[in-house]
Amino acid sequence: MTDFSPQFFLVDAHNFLHRNYHALPKLTTSSGQEVGALYGFVRWLLKMLHDYHPQYVAVCFDSPGGCARRKALWPAYKGTRKKPDDALISQLQTARELVRGLGLAVVAKPGIEADDLMAFLARNAAALSVPSVLATTDKDVYQFLNDFIHIWPAGGKDGFKGPEAAVEKFGVSAAFLPDYFSIVGDSSDNIPGVRGVGPKSAVELINKFGHLEDIIRAVHFDSPDIKPALAQKIREHEGEALLSKQLVVFDSALDLPFALADYEVRLPSPQQLETLFATYEFKNLLDKFDLFSSAPVAAVPQTVVESAAQEIPFSDVLKRSAVAPRVFLHAQDEWLVLGTETEFALVETAAVAPWERAEIQRMVENDAIEKIGYDLKLTLRELDVKMPPRSITCFDERLARYLLNPSDDLSFSGACAAYFSAQIREEDPRELLRTYYAFGWKLRDVLEQKLHDSGQYHLLMNLELPLMAVLANMEQTGLRVDPAWLESFKAVLEK
């Protein structure tokens, strides 16, 4: 199924909330309630609803006490995990109320883990020929991917991945992942596996013999295709391996009802959502996404995109840029836009000649020219242009946006949506960069004013931009390592 269009979105709530809690700022309400993980999670849910208009959504939660079946088999299951912070536990509990407030189904059952619930729901939907996507980074769910069930790792930009993702990630097909996990184990879930046998050996064994039971049978028959040392490890830990397989497979016999209509999205009114968000002081969150329009989001009005600037040959823009007070440059999707406030050019990055790169290098080092861009460090790396070993005269719009709101959508398109209500849907990279060039100048001025208003302008100029130069040089220079020592250490680890 190459053109995968899911109707049923299954969300691993704990997966998102844990990552948000540890990655995002610890935002609190005026009463001191911590809501940073909730804000990031709700914002992602709104974006998912806005971008994909799913017909069905199930948000799956783990329940206190974990998985009863696995605990009965192996009391030490997940026994090495630390107790979550109280602030995270509080947000995990509150998340259910917020999800229901969004008009989405909350799915949680005592003694059953979220990934088991996702497997149950996705398989039942597949039986009705309804395609599902699993929004999670949990590696265990790769084992039941098929043409009707795809994964959406972290709900991010990499998109939906089908059963081929199992081979790409682990080296074996989805059907053999329980065997793979039962051999390599899982330290995060405290699943023992076969001690001393790693992923490489597991893949070789599975590709040669098949399922775990077939591998154990080959060991018992002294197969010459298995090295003696490896065979001995399997003999010694055969019981742990078979136990591990019972722990990693999903329970296909859950005694639960299933009716697809129970997971239909039922959005509340805008007023109800505003009231809900006000409780947690999620200001302006609803304004970022038009959830109540069934029509596709319109492209940016042409009057907004159009610029008085003239498109001219790239070599001419280079000459003008060498003497201009400010230039805009941005590389993306193997194209570069470079321009002054009145003239610009588009060119494929691969077509930029060495002498032209040298001109850009001189422009970057010229402190009389302000370089404006969205992630300048990445742009210079795309062009193979070195960042000087010092701070340069520049304004990096992505860094500015990060300072204003680290948890916001930090893409260029996200910035245009946030500050100009412009929904950019250009597929041609050249048209996309023309649009970015048109917005780039205005965006710089808006961000500078907002940084002044928030008292963060000095932070950008005196800390973030100098640090950008340091990080760029680290990336360009690399790290000095001793390959011989690493090889010897590898041998120690393998023993």
pLDDT of residue 328: 96
What's the pTM? 0.60
Instruction: For the domain made up of 302-477, give the CATH fold.
Output: Nucleotidyltransferase; domain 5 (3.30.420)
Q: How is residue 476 written in tokens?
A: 């360009």
pLDDT of residue 8: 95
Q: CA nearest 125: which of 9, 14, 254?
A: 9
pLDDT of residue 73: 85
Which residues, in sequence order, are CB contacts of 348 under 8 Å at separation 6+?
Answer: 334, 335, 336
Which residues, in sequence order, are CB contacts of 119 under 8 Å at separation 6+?
Answer: 141, 144, 250, 251, 252
Q: How is residue 485 written in tokens?
A: 């020592």
The residue written with tokens 């076969």 in the block is 194
pLDDT of residue 183: 96
pLDDT of residue 295: 36
Helix segments in 249-301, DSSP class H: 270-279
pLDDT of residue 302: 36
Domain segments of the chain as ranges: 1-290, 302-477
pLDDT of residue 23: 81
pLDDT of residue 304: 42
pLDDT of residue 396: 93
CATH class label, 1-290? alpha beta
Q: In the sheet where 335-339 sits, what is the strand order?
A: 310-311, 343-348, 335-339, 326-332, 370-373, 394-396
pLDDT of residue 5: 84
Chain centroid to CA 95: 20
Judge whether 372 and 441 are in contact, CB under 8 Å. yes
pLDDT of residue 420: 79
What does 440-452 look like in DSSP terms, one character per residue? HHHHHHHHHHHHH
Judge whether 132 and 121 are in contact, CB under 8 Å. yes
Q: What is the pLDDT along the chain (495 residues), one digit of tens a residue?
A: 346 888 999 999 999 999 888 887 788 888 889 999 999 999 999 999 988 889 999 999 998 766 888 888 888 888 788 888 888 999 999 999 999 999 999 999 988 999 999 999 999 999 998 999 999 999 999 999 999 999 998 777 778 999 999 999 999 999 999 999 999 999 888 899 999 999 999 999 999 999 999 999 999 999 999 999 999 999 999 999 999 999 999 876 788 899 999 999 998 888 888 889 888 888 777 766 666 654 333 333 333 445 568 899 999 999 999 999 999 999 988 899 999 999 999 999 999 999 999 999 999 999 999 999 999 989 988 888 888 878 889 999 999 999 888 766 788 887 887 787 776 766 688 888 988 898 999 999 999 999 998 899 999 999 998 898 888 888 888 888 899 999 999 989 988
pLDDT of residue 305: 46
